[in-house]
A and B are shown apart, each in its own frame.
Chain A
Amino acid sequence: MLVIKNLKANVEGKEILKGINLEVKAGEIHAIMGPNGSGKSTLANVLTGNENYEVTDGEVLFDGKNLLEMDPETRAREGMFLAFQYPIEIPGVSNATFLKTALNEIRKYKGLEEITPKEFLALIKEKASLLGMDDAMISRYVNVGFSGGEKKRNEILQMLMLEPKFVLLDETDSGLDIDALKIVANGVNIYKNPNTAFLVVTHYQRLLNYIVPDFVHVLYKGRIIKSGTKELALELEDKGYDWLIKEEEMEKV
């Protein structure tokens, strides 16, 4: 589904991604782990087309199409979804207006009819209840006055509503207590299906107890230095990143 070849990217002129190679197939869950500043969030931003990140080399194919040539909204309409690390507030715009507009843009792109207000309301209520969210949040302004946990839950609600093919979770566990974490993970597990793939960006192994990855990759200084299965995450939890980093430095020498 997603093929990343030798991807290099700069932020403010500094090279952060130094040649990423990764293939994610439909139905798979991949976790990207790594210490702070390794380029995890940069990867998420580059894949979704944030203009503050400049791609300098490499190629990304999304269902065979050249992802890097698409503008951010086209990527979203093609089914690329980012659950933001820091969801943005949009004062005066209700969750319902925002999500209905987004959903209809995506439907239009797919050649589908616009959803009727009645269908939309039924759908959002159904999805919100899956996440234990109050109906009141449907009419609240997007992320305004939401607690950290509510914001993350709102991201997952958007995922359930927009039904993307490829989901990027950027540090979705940060700032969540264990109950909120379980709810968010539960949302992801409900949505998981053979046609969808996930790339879970996380600093800690904790989230991976609830969203179990098929593959774990360690990102360090803009490169994937080790790939493995979910056991690798446990090993990292146990031993930290240092041993891997040492290995990497040794190889360089």
Chain B
Amino acid sequence: MNEIKEKMKVELSDDMKVIDDLTSSEYKWGFITDIESETAAKGLNENVIRMISSKKNEPEWMTEWRLKAYRYWLKMEEPKWPNVHYPQIDFQDISYYSAPKQKPKLNSLDEVDPELLKTFEKLGIPLEEQKILSGVAVDAVFDSVSVATTFKETLKEKGIIFCSISEAIQEHPELVKKYLGSVVPYTDNFYAALNSAVFSDGSFIYIPKGVRCPMELSTYFRINSQETGQFERTLIIADDDSYVSYLEGCTAPIRDNNQLHAAVVELIALENAEIKYSTVQNWYPGDKEGKGGIYNFVTKRGACRGNNSKISWTQVETGSAITWKYPSCILQGDNSVGEFYSVAVTNNYQQADTGTKMIHIGKNTRSTIISKGISAGRSNNSYRGLVRIGKNAVGARNFTQCDSMLMGDKCGAHTFPYIEVENDTAKVEHEATTSKVGEDQIFYLNQRGISTEDAVNMIVNGFCKEVFNELPMEFAVEAQKLLAISLEGSVG
């Protein structure tokens, strides 16, 4: 095992004062939608779990699964190893279920609460327009319950299942039983166990054999109820010779109390299948003093079960007070490929401990890790990654590149790479750099007529280029805007 710690401090000069200014911008998307919602009383016990399960009209096996997870969770302890700090969470002070009061079934957008549609418009994602313009099918998750699903018919023709996990439990129990918890078992970690017990909703995708999904599938998440933890559960299965690209994007309204978000995402790629999973995460990061903000404790993992399969994670993380997440790949199939492209931006008092795990089991498995961390304000940004080459992983290869960029002198960038190699034929490369947004770069761009703020955006976007290149076009544009907003006022 190999552990490297880096702590960098950079001198603040007058020119870098823009950093301070940029870091001082307010969260632009803080608003609360006024919709009646049905929220469970605070606290967690077996009755609450039974209540959630029955609200969702779940079969007995699902209820039992939740209860097993809950009982296991009771015996577990919160992980303390991440490089993040926050007050003790009182898990009995959280409400575990919230659903907007809705008509039970919706067949078209007309039936969606107009308030909800307005929220989506504020977010800049008018469903209607998106349907027409971008050909993206959107399964909108609003506070735990899916309210609108589009393009279902087109997908149905190809045999693709794209629905909420609640619906999948009802309609496709055999698939859910087979795969749910097969990549992230409830025994995996504290938050995965909690999620398994109380998960609210999320997306379910099944791509049948030989089918290439003709459009990007997308879900927009949004936490909207005060003090309601959001426990998303997503399950994506790509059967033999299939392909799917999935986009996950989120924003959340301003809150004073910290909100817990503990999602679990499981991906399964069978023979020759490919899954591309892209995330733009913009949960509320807290205010300039570090008050409020989302705790984002997520378990995301993909299994390349089949030979020649591929799973690719791309993430742009700009939000949350605390981010703790490691989208990972288990490379079981021979010649399978895992990729992780990440941009993590922290500002003000944000903390991020994020990275990936690449577990090489099959022969000739390959993985690529490109991580770009940008720290501004008084934030702390850590990359933590594990590359494990198992003893049977003949000819396995990994390439890791970890770059950190610092804005100002009060932030921190840390790198914790772990490398475990049990096979002599493996090749593992690790590169790491730390830089700061240079005054000389800013002055150069200024001298060509570009303002300091635009110059910083340009430099930062250039720094993240390799990751943005992996995002679908519309998403890349959105990601660039998010970066600009997150770092507004950061350099001067």
Interface set of A (CB-CB < 8 Å, partner B): 48-52, 71-73, 75-77, 81-82, 84, 87-93, 97-99, 101-102, 105-106, 109, 141, 158, 162
Contacts and interface: CB of A to CB of B under 8 A. Distances in A.
Contact of B450 (A50, A75, A92, A105): A105
Q: Which 7 residue pairs of A and B lie closest in terms of their CB atoms, listed nearest first?
A: A92-B462, A92-B465, A93-B462, A72-B446, A102-B448, A88-B444, A76-B449
Interface stretch (B72-80, B226-234, B246-254, B451-459): B451-459
Most chain A CB inside 10 Å of its own CB: which residue of B15, B440, B450: B450
Contacts of B449: 73, 76-77, 102, 105-106, 109, 162
10 contacts: A50-B443, A51-B439, A73-B451, A84-B444, A88-B444, A90-B445, A91-B463, A92-B465, A101-B454, A105-B450
Contacts of A158: 448
Contact of B444 (A81, A90, A141): A90
Contacts of B459: 90, 93
B459 to A, nearest CB: 6
B441 interface: yes
Contact of A101 (B450, B452, B465, B466): B450
Given A52-B15, A73-B450, A88-B440, 9 more contacts: A75-B447, A76-B446, A82-B447, A84-B444, A89-B441, A93-B458, A101-B450, A102-B445, A158-B448
A65 B346 CA distance: 41
Nearest to B372: A92
A76 B462 contact: no
Contact of A87 (B444, B446, B450, B466): B444
A73 B446 contact: yes
B245 interface: no
A77 B14 CA distance: 23
Contacts of B441: 88-90
Interface of B: 14-15, 438-441, 443-452, 454, 458-459, 461-466
A105 B461 contact: no
Given A73-B450, A76-B449, A92 B466 contact: yes
Contacts of B451: 73, 105
Contacts of A77: 449
Given A73-B452, A101-B454, A90 B462 contact: yes
A97 B221 CA distance: 33
A90 B458 CA distance: 9
A105 B447 CA distance: 11
A230 B235 CA distance: 77
A51 B447 contact: no
Contacts of A162: 448-449
Most interface-central of B438, B445, B451, B459 (chain A CB within 10 A): B445
A94 B440 CA distance: 18
A13 to B, nearest CB: 14
B438 to A, nearest CB: 8
Contacts of B454: 101, 105
A57 B272 CA distance: 72
Contacts of A48: 447
A85 B464 CA distance: 28
Contact of A72 (B14, B438, B447): B447
User: Most chain-B Cβ atoms within 10 A of its Cβ — which of A81, A99, A102?
Assistant: A102
A214 B174 CA distance: 87
A75 to B, nearest CB: 8
A109 B449 CA distance: 9
Contact of B448 (A49, A92, A98, A109): A98
Contacts of A81: 447
B461 A71 contact: no
Contacts of B445: 90, 98, 102
A98 B457 CA distance: 12
A76 B464 contact: no
A105 B14 CA distance: 24
Contact of B15 (A51, A102, A109): A51
Contacts of A76: 446-449
Contacts of B458: 90, 93, 97-98, 101
B462 A71 contact: no
Given A51-B14, A98-B458, A92 B464 contact: yes
Contacts of A84: 444, 447
A49 B14 CA distance: 14
Nearest to B451: A73
Nearest to B14: A51
A53 to B, nearest CB: 11
Contact of B443 (A72, A92, A98): A72
B50 to A, nearest CB: 52
Contacts of A106: 449
Contacts of B450: 73, 101-102, 105
A52 B15 CA distance: 9
A244 to B, nearest CB: 31
A99 to B, nearest CB: 8
A92 B440 contact: no
B446 A71 contact: yes
Contacts of B464: 92
A49 B446 contact: yes
A162 B448 CA distance: 8
B447 to A, nearest CB: 5
A98 B463 CA distance: 14
